[in-house]
């Protein structure tokens, strides 16, 4: 008997996509809006590509358009503090907000489409960390990124822009040098859990929605486990590799 093949049918996008003007936005950020994101269905099955602009318009998101993303959480191995960044004012989506170390998208290119061992999203992280934070690429290795899970979430930025992503969460504990790209990042700092909680409690701070979701439901238990297991195993510092194959590793978690 022949096996039926299920084909992903892409959503029908509004005809207004190409009429949205980007003339008032930063020139470099507009250029980045032409990057080609990986389109996926709700099971994270890749079926095509489209521009970053198309993927982030709420008019398209409301039809169900969904793309692949990643979020890096980089901790300092000496003390387990988490590196945060504040997104630059020039960013088109979620400007001037605090967030995790790096959050972006694998592109529809050969190296970043590889799904085995999450190699594609790890390659994308190694591409973006130097571009945003100025971390030398020589300090970044694929094996230093530990994949924990992926989340499916949707979040408006304003009336025009938003996010609808399947977001791969990567932890890493490496020492890095920073040289911030001011067009991407206006500030960066390492924080402890208590310091992050204090930041969340301060109404003067604003945070990206994916970071708030991850912090609310996932970050703190993983952070605690990483610190405690690193100590219990007598490691010289904190190592994210102690979380490999732990709870929720590999699950697709819906946060809609």
Q: Is 49 a catalytic residue?
A: no
d(CA 31, CA 26): 9
d(CA 49, CA 96): 28
d(CA 10, CA 218): 31
Catalytic residue among 112, 132, 163, 165: 165
Catalytic residue among 103, 112, 163, 184: 103
Q: Is 103 a catalytic residue?
A: yes
CA 71 to chain centre: 3
Catalytic residues: 103, 165
């Amino acid at each position: 008997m022949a096996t039926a093949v299920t084909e992903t049918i892409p959503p029908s996008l509004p005809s207004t996509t190409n009429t949205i003007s980007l003339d008032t936005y930063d020139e470099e950020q507009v250029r980045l809006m032409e990057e080609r994101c990986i389109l996926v269905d709700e099971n994270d099955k890749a079926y095509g590509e489209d521009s970053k602009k198309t993927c982030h318009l709420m008019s398209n998101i409301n039809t169900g358009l969904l793309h692949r993303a990643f979020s890096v959480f980089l901790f300092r191995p000496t003390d387990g503090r988490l590196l945060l960044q504040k997104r630059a004012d020039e960013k088109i989506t979620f400007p001037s907000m605090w967030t995790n170390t790096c959050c972006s998208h694998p592109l529809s290119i050969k190296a970043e489409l590889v799904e085995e061992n999450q190699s594609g999203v790890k390659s994308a992280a190694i591409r973006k960390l130097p571009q945003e934070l100025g971390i030398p690429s020589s300090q970044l290795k694929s094996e230093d990124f530990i994949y924990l899970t992926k989340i499916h979430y949707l979040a408006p930025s304003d009336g025009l822009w938003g996010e609808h992503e399947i977001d791969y969460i990567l932890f890493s504990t490496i020492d890095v040098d920073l040289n911030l790209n001011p067009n991407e990042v206006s500030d960066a700092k390492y924080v402890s859990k208590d310091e992050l909680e204090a930041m969340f409690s301060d109404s003067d701070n604003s945070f990206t929605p994916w970071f708030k979701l991850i912090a609310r439901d996932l970050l703190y238990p993983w952070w605690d486990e990483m610190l405690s297991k690193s100590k219990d195993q007598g490691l010289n510092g904190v190592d994210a590799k102690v979380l490999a194959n732990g709870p929720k590793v590999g699950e697709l978690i819906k946060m809609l």
